[in-house]
Amino acid sequence: MSSAWARKFGAFFVTWLSLTVAGMLFTDRWNPLMMFLFGYTGFLLAVEYSNPQGPRPTNHRRLRWISMGGFVAFVYISFSWGQSVLTTMTG
């Protein structure tokens, strides 16, 4: 059960990140902020997609904490970006 869950989670997440990088490079739109946002979205989707049935693997609980850490980073990045936009608009 646990190894099947880990394989499903890993396969989905690696595929998502690979397609994201390929798409960004193909369209010549590489941006670290967008890579973080797409990567974080892929992580959340992988957590939901690989939701185990029956008893949960031990690592599944830790994924919630990683998700919250990513959300905190997302809020910080969004706030910093908003401040820089406002600074350039008023300055």
Ordered by start, the domain boundaries in the chain are 2-90
User: Is the per-residue pLDDT at 1 higher than 60?
Assistant: no
**Which tens digit of pLDDT belongs to each residue from 67-85?**
888 888 888 888 888 788 7
| 17, 39 Cβ separation under 8 angstroms | yes
pLDDT of residue 20: 93
| 70, 40 Cβ separation under 8 angstroms | yes
Give the distance, in angstroms, between the CA of residue 57 and the centroid of all CA atoms in the same chain.
Answer: 20
**Which residue, among 13, 12, 37, 8, has the nearest Cα to 24 in the 3D structure?**
37
